[in-house]
Amino acid sequence: MFGKLFVGEKALAKLQILIIVVAVCITVVGVYAWWTTKHEPAPPFWPEENAARRNIEIIAEGPILHYQENLFWDENRFSGLMENKDGFRSAQIEEFNEEYNVTANNFSITFDEKRGVTILKCDVHGKFSGSWYDFHWLLNPLGLDFIDSHFAKSEKELFWQGIIDGIMTTIVLRFPFSIDHCHAHVWQK
């Protein structure tokens, strides 16, 4: 009888070891499955953060200002943006609304993978008085002024290039007529 009890204890010990090994294997497989499939949200960022270059183009058409902003990225940063396109889209629209505080609609954000460029387009409303356009909304947040910042003027365009927040920035404003301007307004000549 004593021998049978001893054999039973050995079997019980083997069973306990087997249970522990199976539990460890299940845990390892579960952790591996979680680790390989987890999707961490990208850290929050503002759209122009780490952009290499920024081009802003505004085309006036009647009472609407068609706004387009191209942000040029290095390859690594653009790849990160591609992993979180929806997050980038939301952040870029939020940044536009916070920075400029204008009525805008028809937002579109696209990704040019060949050039590493993100493109925001929208229509800005309420900045045309009937005879002149008000650009305080654009210039003040950027620390610019048509006259004091030396915007170049051609017959139908205003142009500026310089560094804003460490980013080489180009701004072009186009109009369907000959123009004149003051510090923040543009009108037909």
pLDDT tens digit sequence for 91-136: 999 999 999 999 999 999 999 999 999 999 999 999 999 999 999 9
Bigger pLDDT: 19 or 151? 151
Predicted TM-score of the model (pTM): 0.75
Task: Answer yes or no: are the C-beta atoms of 86 and 110 closer than 8 Å.
Answer: no
- pLDDT at residue 90, rounded to an integer: 93
Phi, psi of 182, deg, nearest 5: -120, -150
Express each pLDDT in 126-165 by its tens digit.
999 999 999 999 999 999 999 999 999 999 999 999 999 9
Q: How far apart are CA 42 and CA 14, in angstroms?
A: 47
State the helix-helix crossing angle for 75-83 and 85-100, rounded to 10 degrees: 100
pLDDT digits (tens, 9 = 90+) for 46-92: 555 679 999 999 999 999 999 999 999 998 889 888 999 999 999 99
pLDDT in the model for residue 37: 61
**12 touches 4 (CB < 8 A):** no
The residues near 48 (Cβ < 8 Å, ≥ 6 apart) are: 54, 71, 95, 165, 167
23 pLDDT tier (thresholds 50, 70, 90): confident
Chain segment 24-36, per-residue pLDDT in tens:
878 777 777 766 6
Q: Which amino acid makes up residue 105?
A: N
The confidence score (pLDDT) of residue 6 equals 55
Q: What is the DSSP letter of 41?
A: P
pLDDT bucket at 4, cuts 50 / 70 / 90: low
In angstroms, the first-to-last Cα distance of the chain is: 115
Is 81 in contact with 88 (CB distance < 8 Å)? yes
- Three-state SS at 125: strand
Q: Answer whether residue 172 shows pLDDT above 50.
A: yes
Q: Which pLDDT belongs to residue 68?
A: 98
